[in-house]
Structure 1
Amino acid sequence: MRRRLLLVAGLLPACSAWAGPPVDIVVIAHPGIVRVDLPTLQRLYTGRAVEVGGTAANVVNAPPGTPSRERFLSQVVQLDDGRYIAYWTVRRHVGKGVPPRELRSSAEIIAYVQATPGAIGYIPVSELRPGLNVVLRP
């Protein structure tokens, strides 16, 4: 039984390769938020910053396991999903904040970002449409 568990655990990292090619993403924000640089996004998504240019930031995530979230966490936050979840578990436990809200789809992220002052989120490039405020193309 233990051997089987070790075998399955060893194969888990390879399973992400079966998901297909990585998805290119863009970071969008509510109108009024200017360009955001990579270090600022890292601080926002790890709870080390709460505002951008004097505006309270309200960052949102795609759900765990989605290609856009995996790409964002890898490129911007420089953590994999498991380490990111663990990071926020510890921060929440010691009273240092709560993780960004998770929305179910790119359409929800777009609607939320457009309607919520200070909102920042990310979507696949394929979902980009005119009128969205793109603040970073990682």
Structure 2
Amino acid sequence: MKTLAWLFTALLMLGTPLLAAENDPVLLIGHPGLPPIDADTVERLYTGRSIEVAGTPVTVVNAAGGSALRRRFLATWLRTTDERYGAYWTVRRHVGKGAPPRELGGGSAEMIDFVRATPGAIGYIDAAELRPGLNVIARP
């Protein structure tokens, strides 16, 4: 019985960080100098219906397709799934209405580096990845 209790406790402790990451809000970060934006603007940018913020051309980037961060971003900010988002961009590209945002596969660190280094860049991170000096432009 003690072994079972110990095993249950160990599993609970190992799973806690994973649950915390899944529940962290997804924050939108922008290149320094970009102003705060609202949820409607986030949706327009990530669906290709807008390409600028306050007169500044922007480059939006996505986490890798299928990643937990991207699924949470899409559910929170665009109220859709990764599959529907991919289908949306397949149709949009087919009719000549643009291409989906670039995907970064290196996790939050690559997203942060890209946004810091690229004028007009917008990306997203887990709230747990927030670091001093990042320009948070939208919170859920």
TM-score normalised by the chain length of structure 2: 0.82
- Structure 1 residue 71 displacement after superposition: 1.0
Q: Which ranges of structure 1 fall in alignment gaps of 5 or more residues?
A: 1-18
What code does the residue aligned with 2:88 have? Y
Aligned to 2:41: 40
Q: How many residues align?
A: 120
State the superposition RMSD in angstroms.
1.2
Aligned to 1:64: 65
| Residue correspondence of structure 1 range 1-40 to structure 2 within 5 A | 21-40=22-41
1:15-34 Cα deviation digits (max 9, x unpaired)? xxxx8544421110001100
Query: Which segments of structure 1 move beyond 6 Å, counting only runs of 4 or more?
Result: none
Question: For the pair shown, which has the larger CA radius of gyration, 1 or 2?
Answer: 2
- Structure 1 residue 66 displacement after superposition: 1.5
Q: Which ranges of structure 2 fall in alignment gaps of 5 or more residues?
A: 1-17
1:84-113 Cα deviation digits (max 9, x unpaired)? 000000000111000000001111100000
For the residues of structure 2 that align with 1:31 and 1:22, how far apart are their CA atoms?
27
- Residue 110 (str. 1) matches residue 120 (str. 2): no
What code does the residue aligned with 2:85 have? Y
SS at match of 2:136: strand
Aligned to 2:121: 119
SS at match of 1:26: strand
Contact between 1:23 and 1:71, CA under 8 Å: does it hold in 2? no
TM-score normalised by the chain length of structure 1: 0.83
SS at match of 1:42: helix
